[in-house]
Amino acid sequence: MLTEADLDALLAGRHTDPFGRLGLHADDSGRLWVRALLPGASEVALLDAGSKKHIVDLTQRRGGFFEAQVPRRKHRFDYRLAVRWAGGGEGVYADPYNFYPQLGDDELKAFAEGRNFRPFLSLGAHLVQHGDVSGVRFAVWAPNAKRVSVVGNFNNWDGRRHPMRLRHIAGVWEIFVPHAGVGDLYKFEIVNGNGALLPLKADPYARQAQLRPDNASIVAPLPEPTPLPRQRERANRRESPISVYEVHAASWRRGVSGEFPTWDELAEHLPAYVADLGFTHVQLMPISEHPFDGSWGYQTLGLYAPSARFGPPEGFARFVKAVHDQGLGLLLDWVPAHFPVDAFGLAEFDGTRIYEYADPKEGFHRDWNTLIYNFGRTEVRQFLIGSALYWIERWGVDGLRVDAVASMLYRDYSRPAGEWIPNIRGGRENLEAISLLREMNEHVGEVEGAITVAEESTSFPGVSAPTYAGGLGFHYKWNMGWMNDTLRYMAEDPINRRWHHDKMTFGLIYAFSENFMLPISHDEVVHGKGSMLAKMPGDDWQKFANLRAYYGFMWGHPGKKLLFMGQELAQRNEWNHAESLPWGLLEDDRHAGVQRLVRDLNKLYREHSALHRLDCEAGGFEWISAHDAEHSIYAWVRRDGTGRMVLVVCNMTPVPREGYSLGVPDGVTAWKEALNTDSAYYGGSNMGNGVAAAGLPVQAQPAHGKRLSITINLPPLATVFFVPI
């Protein structure tokens, strides 16, 4: 019989080796005993698993603990427990304590040594089959815990029912729970090293979770590997046109329920809309599970779970397919920079700071009241890299936009002197985070066609350079400097723009130092910054004209493009995450005109290789006029490296310029207007250069340092594109 000390420890939920006591065991005399801890049971009997024959009734000693000596058996055998519950009901169950360790020593050793970059295959909740018994294998990393149990609706949330086995090689706790299955709710009950019971913890590797305010993890199948469609591999390359439509899924268009749309509702409308507007990619703000709506997903606690706000995970799979069926790519915002302090999450997960840095000077973000991952710890690095690979390999998304990279790169990010810890070299760079990002990008880079994009706001060198060349290895970097400079310029009254002319040209000094993406993201239309239309000066006509001219400037400028949802509508109010976009604006032709312009800019960008093929190379750009501050005019030529060209001219004042001489490159006899943001079709004054088949003939008249020129009409507050005939 079990000793009273062992029994006390089991009933108190503090036994350090439950697998050594529960289940089938031989005593010192070689006699077999079977023991089960089943609080709430009134009767338990031992059955032979094969014949289903009754072997012996177990005796209840106290607190739901049952045991019996097994008659006539000398060797281990497969058995079942027939249980009658005190509250009514009965069943026959396999015993979780009759199964051997679930995880192999090799995979645990790889995890402990930092070599398992797909830890989601080992940890979390996995559906498994042992003979005729189906169930769920639960595994969680909690190296400093004294006891870990899995609790859920399959055991009445009783931590005494399923205490887990500690695999010392990796600090991983595991158990196979027979008869658990898809849809079961679960958490981990953890006793810390001091013997204190922690708040129940959600599974860091959960693939599905409850909708807030509930926060239990849900058993869900592991998605099958989903490779990118072959055409998507080519579409993500640097020489391809990449124009991204950024979406906050909860507020693009409200669902039938009036709150969150389902993945299927989004799949029905969003991809077709984005494709119709000519964008090449959809980018979703973070859709991994997060507790607070107002964080927009940027404070995530479920790096492996599509948010329950939009329905079950299988709906997300259908959404991904719908995006690809429209010929679009899908990028996800991915947040390895920080995580919230909610008690059910990663914070002090096993009673110690295993996911976050131990010292708040390293591990706490003042700006967001969040914690910072310990980027140097092997288990945390695998958790993060595994998440990146999970979304790409298992869901088939094209890539990740990595949020808040600057906050990862610098230890003194948003910290005053004395409130940060230098690196081992005495510097401010976070060497562990830099190493993590490089490693993550190298692994993602092994997936054919997949890309990563960095939101990085500093001048850190080589963000989009290969790791073998000393870079971070991202494929693209958001050009935050370009965005800030040009929006400050556009906010100026046109009469004052002559004094700020360099804000529009400065970006070309460094435009080819990285593979840049030009972002007009959600960050530019929140927190009192106003909408894009509201940023523009002047009366209503000038606001619309300024906005159209700016979009033309952006699409003509080197760099991939990104526009946040609603800006194609010329939204008047800044974005509100709790409301749907103001689709009714399209009933006003001025707003519909801006939408038509965005569609045509994307069409032009995609059709003319000169506007995208050398987006990231100096050979694809040449200034024609960069210094005409007096008239606030800019002109340049885009090239594709094979002889194709596009001329782009911007007039950033409300003064029309008729008969303007524009210098042009050699090799073309005539040019024609391809797009004019002042067209009446877009809501402009319709001043332009006609559509005559003969176009605008090149004249042997020098201008702008060129020996040839054309004479054009330059509309007020407009950008005009010309292509060779």
What would the pLDDT profile of 227-271 be if each residue is shown by its tens digit? 888 887 788 999 999 999 999 999 999 877 778 999 999 999 999
Domain positions in the chain: 4-96, 105-218, 233-331+381-401+452-609, 618-724
233-331+381-401+452-609 maps to CATH 3.20.20.80: yes
pLDDT of the residue at 350 = 98
Answer yes or no: same fold for 233-331+381-401+452-609 and 618-724. Answer: no
User: Which residue is catalytic, options 6, 333, 362, 455?
Assistant: 455
Strand partners, 722: 647, 673
What would the pLDDT profile of 585-604 be if each residue is shown by its tens digit? 999 999 999 999 999 999 99
Can you list the alpha helix ranges (DSSP code H) found in 519-618?
532-535, 540-556, 589-607
User: What element of type H or E holds 252?
Assistant: helix 249-252
Tracing tokens 């967001």 back to the chain, one arrives at: 368
Q: Is the CB of residue 36 less than 8 Å from the CB of residue 95? A: yes
Residues 406 and 477: their CA atoms lie apart, in Å, by: 11
Instruction: Tell whether the model's pLDDT for residue 691 goes beyond 70.
Output: no
> What topology does CATH give the domain 105-218?
Immunoglobulin-like (2.60.40)
- The CATH number for 4-96, chosen from 2.60.40.1180, 2.60.40.10, 3.40.50.720, 3.40.50.1820, is 2.60.40.10
Q: What is the mean pLDDT of residues 546-565?
A: 98
DSSP label at 309?
A: G
Residues 61 and 184: their CA atoms lie apart, in Å, by: 30
How many other CB atoms sit within 10 Å of the CB of residue 20?
A: 12
Q: Which residues of 236-275 are buried (b: 16+ CB within 10 A; e: fewer)?
A: bebbbbbbbbbbbbbbbbbbeeeebbbbbbbbeebbebbb
Tracing tokens 């595991």 back to the chain, one arrives at: 174
What CATH number has the domain spanning 618-724?
Answer: 2.60.40.1180
Tracing tokens 């080992």 back to the chain, one arrives at: 122
DSSP 3-state of 355: coil
78: Cβ contacts below 8 Å, ≥ 6 apart: 48, 49, 50, 98, 131
Q: Which of 19, 6, 68 is nearest to 43 (CA)?
A: 68
Q: Is the CB of residue 280 less than 8 Å from the CB of residue 328? A: yes
Q: Which of 362, 361, 491 is nearest to 419 (CA)?
A: 361
Q: What is the mean pLDDT of residues 314-324?
A: 97
Percentage of the chain exceeding pLDDT 90: 95
Q: What is the mean pLDDT of residues 205-209?
A: 98
- In residues, how long is the chain? 725
What would the pLDDT profile of 402-413 be if each residue is shown by its tens digit? 999 999 999 999
Instruction: Tell whether the model's pLDDT for residue 694 goes beyond 90.
Output: no
Q: Is the CB of residue 481 less than 8 Å from the CB of residue 423? A: no
Q: Is the CB of residue 269 less than 8 Å from the CB of residue 435? A: no
The answer to whether residue 403 is catalytic is: yes
Instruction: Tell whether the model's pLDDT for residue 362 goes beyond 80.
Output: yes
DSSP label at 533?
A: H
Q: What is the mean pLDDT of residues 450-467?
A: 96
pLDDT of the residue at 96 = 97
Instruction: Tell whether the model's pLDDT for residue 692 goes beyond 70.
Output: no
User: Which residue is catalytic, options 67, 289, 403, 615?
Assistant: 403
Instruction: Tell whether the model's pLDDT for residue 220 goes beyond 70.
Output: yes
Measure the CA angle with vertex 534, ends 261 and 593; round to 5°. Answer: 70
Q: Which of 457, 555, 567, 553 is nearest to 514 (CA)?
A: 457
- DSSP states of 409-463: HBTTTT--TTSS---TTSSSB-HHHHHHHHHHHHHHHTSTT-EEEE---S--TTT
pTM attached to this predicted model: 0.95
pLDDT of the residue at 254 = 87
Q: What is the mean pLDDT of residues 319-327?
A: 97
Q: Report the chain's mean pLDDT, rounded to a whole number.
A: 96
Q: What is the CA radius of gyration of the chain?
A: 31
